[in-house]
Structure 1
Amino acid sequence: MTSNRIPLHRVQGTHYEYSYQLGQLTRESIRQRIANDFAYLSKLFHFIQTEYGQKLHRGFIETTRSIYPWYWDEIRGLADGSQVPLEQIVVLNFLNETRTVYRLLDEKKKLENETGEQGCTTVLINRKDTETLSLLHNEDHSSALYMTGYLVEADIQPSKYDNDQRDSPKEKFVAYCYAGSIPGNAFGVNVHGFVCALNGLYPDFVVADRLPRQIVNRALLSVKNEDELDKLLQSSPVAYGFCINGGFLRQKTHLLNYEIGPNLNENNQNYISKCRIINSEGKFNDDSDARNYLVHYNHYERLNHVIRQQKALDSSYSRWKRGKELGEIFTTADAIRLLGDHENEQFPIFRTSNGSDVNSVTLCTVHINFLTLQLEIYQQNPKDNKQPSITYNLRDIFSSE
Structure 2
Amino acid sequence: MEDARLPCLKVTGSHYEVGRQVGEAFKDRIAEAYYKSESFSELHEFAKSSTGQAHLNRWKDAVERYPNVVAEMKGLADGSGIDYEEVFLYNCSVEIGIILLELDTITSCSDLLLQQPNMVLSAHNEDGPDSAVNTSYLIHAEITGNDGTVEEDFVAFAYAGILPGNAFGFNRHGLSFSTNAIYGKYLRENDAALPRVVLGRMVLGVKTVDELLNKLQGTGEQYKSPIWQSVSSFSLNIGDRVNAKVMNIELSTRGISKTTTENGFLHHFNMFVHTPEPQYVHMSSVHRTRALATLEGPTDSSSALNILSDTSDTEYPMYRNGASPDVLSTIATVVYDLLRGVAEIYTTQPLPGVTPTYEFNF
TM-score by length of 1: 0.83
Deviation (angstroms), 1:121: 0.5
Q: Root-mean-square deviation (CA), in Å?
A: 2.0
- The AA in structure 2 aligned to 1:308 is P
Gaps of at least 5 residues in structure 1 are: 104-110, 161-167, 264-270, 279-290, 395-401
CA distance in 1, matches of 2:204, 2:103: 30
For the 8 Å contact 2:34–2:90, the answer to whether it is kept is no
Residue equivalent to 1:370: 338
Aligned to 1:397: none
Residue identity matched to 1:391 = E
Deviations 1:67-103 (A, max 9, x none): x221122112111110122232122211111122234
Secondary structure of 1:28's counterpart equals helix
- State whether residues 200 and 241 of structure 1, in contact with CA within 8 Å, keep that contact through their aligned partners in structure 2: yes
Instruction: For residue 23 of structure 2, give the secondary structure of its aligned residue in structure 1.
Output: helix
8 Å Cα contact 1:124/1:134 also seen in 2: yes
Equivalent position of 1:163 in the other structure: none
Structure 2 alignment gaps of length 5 or more: 218-226
- Contact 1:44/1:102 (8 A) holds in 2: no
Q: Could you tell me which of 166, 184, 199 is aligned with 1:203?
A: 184
**1:334 matched residue in structure 2:** 303
- Cα distance in 2 for partners of 1:171, 1:390 equals 21
Q: Distance in 1 between matches of 2:212 and 2:73?
A: 23
State which of 244, 258, 278 in structure 2 corresponds to 1:308. 278
Specify which of 51, 69, 72 is matched with residue 70 of structure 2: 72
What residue number does 2:143 align with?
Answer: 156
Percent of aligned pairs with the same amino acid? 29
Distance 2:284 2:78 in 1: 37
Pick aligned residue for 1:273 from 230, 236, 257: 257
Structure 1 pair 55/385, CA: closer, same or farther in 2 (3 Å)? Answer: farther
Deviation of residue 292 (structure 1)?
2.1
The CA distance in 2 between the partners of 1:69 and 1:140, in whole Å, is: 30
Whole-angstrom distance in 1 between the partners of 2:134 and 2:94? 21
Structure-2 change in CA distance of 1:275 and 1:42 (3 Å): same
CA distance in 2, matches of 1:86, 1:78: 8
Q: Which residue of 1 aligns with 2:230?
A: 238
Contact 2:302 2:352 in 1 (8 A): no
The answer on 1:224 being equivalent to 2:207 is yes
| 1:136 corresponds to which of 123, 133, 156 | 123
Structure 1 counterpart of 2:336, which letter? I
For residues 328 and 50 of structure 2, the distance between their equivalents in structure 1, rounded to whole angstroms, comes to: 31
Aligned to 2:41: 42
Cα distance in structure 2, aligned partners of 1:359 and 1:315: 10
SS of residue paired to 1:79: helix
Please state how far the C-alpha of 1:55 moved relative to its aligned partner.
1.4
Shift of 1:241: 0.7
Query: Amino acid of the residue matched to residue 179 of structure 2?
Result: L
Residue 350 (structure 1) shift = 0.5
After TM superposition, where is structure 1 displaced by more than 6 Å over at least 4 residues in a row?
A: none
Cα distance between partner residues in 2 of 1:33 and 1:359 = 16
The separation in 1 between residues aligned to 2:289 and 2:197, in whole angstroms, is: 25
What SS does the corresponding residue of 1:46 show, helix, strand or coil?
helix
Q: After TM superposition, give the deviation of residue 358 of structure 1 in Å.
A: 5.8
Q: Kindly indicate whether residue 268 of structure 2 is the aligned counterpart of residue 296 of structure 1.
A: yes
Q: Retained in 2: the 8 A contact 1:345–1:356? A: no
Counting matched residue pairs gives 350
